[in-house]
Each structure stands twice: as C-alpha cells, then as structure tokens.
C-alpha cells in the first residue's frame, strides 16, 4: 500500500513537529464562533457485505482534506457540552480490490465536538454528497458512475497546541446512486482513520 504509507508517514511527521511545540506550552484551546479548521485525514476502507447479494470486497486507502467553521458557542453544561461546526470535505478513494479503480466526491459536513475535557475533544460527524467512481459496470452492486456517498462516524481530537490537534476515529461509508439506475445495491464499508487539524 505505497499510497497509504506515504500519507501516514506525512501525518506522523506533522504530528512530531507539533508535539515539540506542545511540550513547552500549556494547552487550553479556545475555539470560538468563526474559528476555521483545516484538516487532512487518511484511512483504509474495509468492506461490509450486508446481504447475500453483496459479493464485492471493495477496499483501499482513502484521503479526505477538509475545511470547517465553528458556528456556535459551547452549549450545554454537562458531559454533552459542545459546539457545532459546518464545512465541506473532498473524498478520494483508491479501490484496490477487486480492481484498481478510483472514486472522488465532495461532501458538505457537520460536526459536533464535545468540549468538557478541554484538550481531549470527542466528536460526532455526518457528511454526504455527490461521488464519482469508475467501478460502474465492473461489480454487481453498482451500475452508475455518478453516485452519492454518505458517511457517519465519531472520533477524538487531541490538541497538541492551542491551534493544532491529532484526530483518530471511525466512519461508516455508504456509496450508491440513489436509485437513478439499476442494479443499485450500494457499497458499505468501515473506515478507521487518523489525521490532523489546524485551527485559526
């Protein structure tokens, strides 16, 4: 997996650079309304065949650069205290099984970050949008090049500095053409991921 190896190496180097700064500072991030977040996330997609009609074991690395903006002050006064962010994400997937093919999408995105633990911030996220792939006609589950991708998941951000965080988490991915052509069984997969974000 040379593509994934290169991406993960870049993520590791980036985290080491910011860790040096973090050791010398008292980290207490202040994310306010209007704060922007630029992130890069990478992971590896693992297939779920949910019915006996799902036969394809599609899998491969994924890369997801994103931009978001915080749109609320912290709400709530207990463990669920958190903030809402809105933004968008590009999704690139290199399907390595059963054929070497590609997918590219654009997804508006919403995220709720729990802020009660200060520098450790769990979050839940949801995204969905158009997705193009050249898997069409090569597998029994998909017949269209134009599809939609829906993702839902959770993660944890660990702030290394007041403006930089490491992220790890899990997403469930669903790709289908929304019934615009048939067959349309759709592709389902898990996507464990890691990455980093910068806030400004």
pLDDT tens by residue, 49-99: 766 666 677 789 999 999 999 999 999 888 899 999 999 999 999 988 777
Q: Which residues share a beta bridge with 129?
A: 149
- Direct distance between the N- and C-terminal alpha carbons of the chain, in angstroms, rounded to an integer: 33
Q: Which DSSP helix (H) or strand (E) runs through 66? A: strand 60-70
What does the pLDDT read at residue 59? Answer: 85
What does the pLDDT read at residue 72? Answer: 97
Give one word for 178, left, alpha or beta, with left for phi > 0 and alpha for psi -120 to 50.
left
DSSP 8-state assignment for residue 7: H
8-40 confidence digits (pLDDT tens): 555 555 554 544 444 445 888 999 999 999 999
What does the pLDDT read at residue 85? Answer: 98
Q: Taking residues 97-113, report their average pLDDT.
A: 91
The pLDDT-based confidence of 171 (bands split at 50, 70, 90) is very high
What does the pLDDT read at residue 14? Answer: 55
Calculate the alpha carbon distances from 188 to 49, 51, 99, 110 in Å.
Answer: 7, 11, 17, 21
Residue 2 has pLDDT above 80, yes or no: no
pTM: 0.82
109-153 confidence digits (pLDDT tens): 999 999 999 899 999 999 999 999 887 777 777 778 899 999 999
Q: Which residues of 157-188 are buried (b: 16+ CB within 10 A; e: fewer)?
A: bbbbbbbbbbbebebebbbbbeeeeeeebbbb
What does the pLDDT read at residue 7? Answer: 55
What does the pLDDT read at residue 18? Answer: 47
CATH number of 2-199: 2.40.160.20
């Amino acid at each position: 997996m040379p593509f994934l190896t290169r991406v993960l190496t870049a993520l590791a180097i980036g985290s080491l650079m910011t860790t040096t700064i973090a050791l010398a500072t008292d980290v207490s991030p202040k994310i306010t309304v209007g704060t922007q977040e630029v992130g890069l996330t990478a992971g590896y997609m693992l297939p779920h065949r949910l019915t006996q009609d799902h036969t394809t074991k599609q899998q491969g690395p994924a890369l997801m650069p994103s931009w978001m903006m915080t749109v609320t002050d912290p709400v709530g006064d207990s463990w669920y205290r958190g903030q809402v962010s809105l933004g968008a994400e590009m999704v690139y997937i290199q399907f390595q099984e059963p054929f070497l093919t590609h997918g590219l999408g654009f997804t508006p995105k919403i995220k709720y970050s729990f802020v009660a633990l200060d520098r450790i911030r769990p979050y839940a996220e949801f995204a969905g949008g158009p997705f193009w792939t050249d898997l069409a006609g090569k597998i029994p589950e998909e017949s269209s090049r134009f599809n939609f991708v829906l993702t839902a998941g959770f993660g944890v951000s660990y702030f290394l500095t007041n403006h930089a965080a490491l992220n790890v988490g899990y997403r469930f991915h669903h790709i289908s053409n929304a019934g615009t052509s048939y067959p349309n069984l759709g592709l389902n997969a898990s996507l464990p991921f890691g990455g980093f974000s910068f806030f400004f």
